[in-house]
Structures are given as C-alpha cells and as structure tokens.
Amino acid sequence: MKCNIVSIKKASSSRSPNPTCVIFILAVLSAGDVCFGFDDEGFQYWSTAQTYFDLDKNCKLAYEEEFKLGDDGGNLYYHHSDLGVVYKGLSPSIDLGVNYRQIQEKDGQDKWRPEYRPHFNVTLKNKLFGLDVSDRSRIEYRARENSKDIWRYRNKLSIEVPLEIADLKLRPYLADEVFFDLNDKGYSTNRLYSGLAVELSKNTIGDIYFLWQTKRSGGEWQNISVLGTKLVFRF
C-alpha cells in the first residue's frame, strides 16, 4: 500500500496547467500504448480507488474498491469491496492489517458468483541504498460459491525510488507478487508490476502501472497483460 503522503508547496496562482496532472496524463497514454501492443493471451484494464482515514497516530481505517475489465478492457467481469484496519504501533517498520473483502466475479457461463475473503497482512518496510523496500505477506481464506473453500498465501515484494523533480513527488516502482494455494495446488499465480506513483495533491496520489500475470488454470499456464490505474485518498 502506498499511503505515505508528503505535503507539497502551495500551488501558485497562475492559471497554467498543473504539471503534476500533465505528467500523470502523459504516463497514462504512454502506458496504454505499451499494453495495447503487448501480444499475449489477453489484455485487461483494472481500476482501483483506496481511501484511508486516520483513527489515531497508530491506526487507520482502509477502504478499497476495484473493478477489472477483460476482453481488451470492454467487459466488466470482477469487482471487490475491501474494508480493514491497519495498525502501525508495533514498530515504524511493521504494518499489521486485518481486512474483509467481498468479491463478485463472472464464471464461465457469464454468471456473477460471490466470494467472501477475510485476510490478514504483515508488511515489513525498510530503506536499502536509498530505495524504499517493502515486503507484504498475506494469508487469506477464500469462501467461494460452487467451489471448495481454500486458504491462500500471497507475498508481494516492492521496490520504490523516491524522486523529487521541482515540486513533483514521484515514485517509480517495481514489484513481484506470488500466490500459493495452501490446500493442494501450491504455486498458482505470479504478478510482475512496473509503475509510477505521482502526488497529485496533499491528500491524493495517482498510480499507473503495467502488470503481467501468469496463472495456472486447468493444468496450463495462462498470461494476461494489464493496464492499471489507482487513486489513493487519505484523510
């Protein structure tokens, strides 16, 4: 989660376009060209919005909505709502989170199927050669309709480069996430991320990323390429 928001200087009274917004829009267009040119088993667009409310100095409430569109970004097939609490009082380098996620996803017959997914998260954060490094471990329980319930472990390693150009706060990053089904399948999914987070205002971060996912399904590995955008708000 990228929720550390650094205040920026007050915008000048000039009517010229905000350079942060201009760079963010150009990044969206550039990443779109890369993704549409990627010849693989499918292209998707994922859209996410996250909101954080500080409850006290060590605890915050987190809420997330995400939509996934397949068939070259033209078919909504997935939606989730996620509510949780993040606790930071144990150590400055450790975040603990307890969440509940409710999912609606289309099956092979184009019918919406629900999934109920509580999950527990431990995120370790540190500095390494001037880079921000984080490692998130997640244990989740997947209660699914018409499928057996399973436990799954996910680990996401992220490396961010904090940059400041003029008044702009930029965070290009790379991340890799692996999925392990704990019941029987074992290693099942890998996601490789490359993205750029931009501070759009004091309380808002825009994030655009390209994701390549490899997933085992029916004994075969299937690949998709994803253009993702995310807005993060903090209050």
E strand map for the chain: 43-56, 59-70, 75-91, 94-106, 112-128, 131-144, 150-160, 163-165, 168-181, 186-201, 204-217, 220-234
pLDDT value of position 147: 86
Residues near 128 by beta carbon (within 8 Å), at least 6 away in sequence:
none
What length is written for the chain? 235
User: What is the rounded CA–CA span in Å between residue 71 and residue 101?
Assistant: 25
pLDDT value of position 145: 86
pLDDT value of position 22: 43
pLDDT value of position 25: 44
pLDDT value of position 109: 84
Of 202, 211, 212, nearest in space to 232 by CA: 202
pLDDT value of position 41: 63
What average pLDDT values come out for the chain (235 residues) when binned by 10 residues?
A: 37 41 45 40 92 96 97 90 97 97 92 97 96 98 92 98 92 98 90 97 96 90 96 96
Considering the entire predicted model, what is its pTM?
0.81
pLDDT value of position 33: 42
Could you tell me the residue ranges of all domains in the chain?
20-189+209-234
